Structure 1
């Protein structure tokens, strides 16, 4: 379903316990090479706060935090899939380089029903190069 230039996507984890809806015009996906993203293999697209509608409360999910503890990874407690996350806050070095804080969600596009991540360009994110404060 279209709303303006954006599409409304239903999303879910592998087992279907975690469900959500997101409104977005997905024109790329992001692949980060940091240790956790590399192993996870998610194809991410960032959306503003109000673009994500949760059908499953966050309290019903497993929260994983690591490193600076500013990122919040929400996982299904049954199948372990990460359907979305809160991105980490920029480090002091990133802020000095002009990186702007992002107050929204990072959606794993592999969890979106009817979306083909191979239909859009891939942006490489060099997470391994980020210097922590």
Structure 2
């Protein structure tokens, strides 16, 4: 299934294709503060449709995940694995997906603080 999403103001828009069977609730210092629910997908299945100068990036710790955010409204619609290779992942914030019944998405707790 193809899902479309964006930040609050719409300046950063994306689409992601796949079967949304669950979302991760990560307890790392940034995800717990953002309250993001993440859908891990192969990097190539997330396509950024609009960004211009509005797409910001934040990394911390081991700098392996680029947390993307809109410089205008501050919403974090997705993150990306910045490692090299074919096994890269992307992480769509399911709270930013259009027309999604969040109550129907199972949530799995992930111990990101231990990573």
TM-score by length of 1: 0.77
Residue number among 11, 32, 41 corresponding to 1:47 in the alignment: 41
The count of corresponding residues between Structure 1 and Structure 2 is: 113
- Return the offset for 1:21: 1.0
RMSD: 1.9
* Structure 1 residues without counterparts, runs of 5 or longer: 1-6, 90-100
Residue number among 7, 10, 29 corresponding to 2:4 in the alignment: 10
Structure showing greater Rg: 1
SS at match of 2:31: helix
Greater per-residue strand proportion? 2
In structure 2, what is the equivalent of residue 125 of structure 1?
110
Deviating runs (4+, > 4 A) in structure 1?
none
* Structure 2 residues without counterparts, runs of 5 or longer: none
TM-score by length of 2: 0.88
Distance, in Å, in 1 between the alignment partners of 2:94 and 2:107 is: 12
- Return the offset for 1:56: 1.7
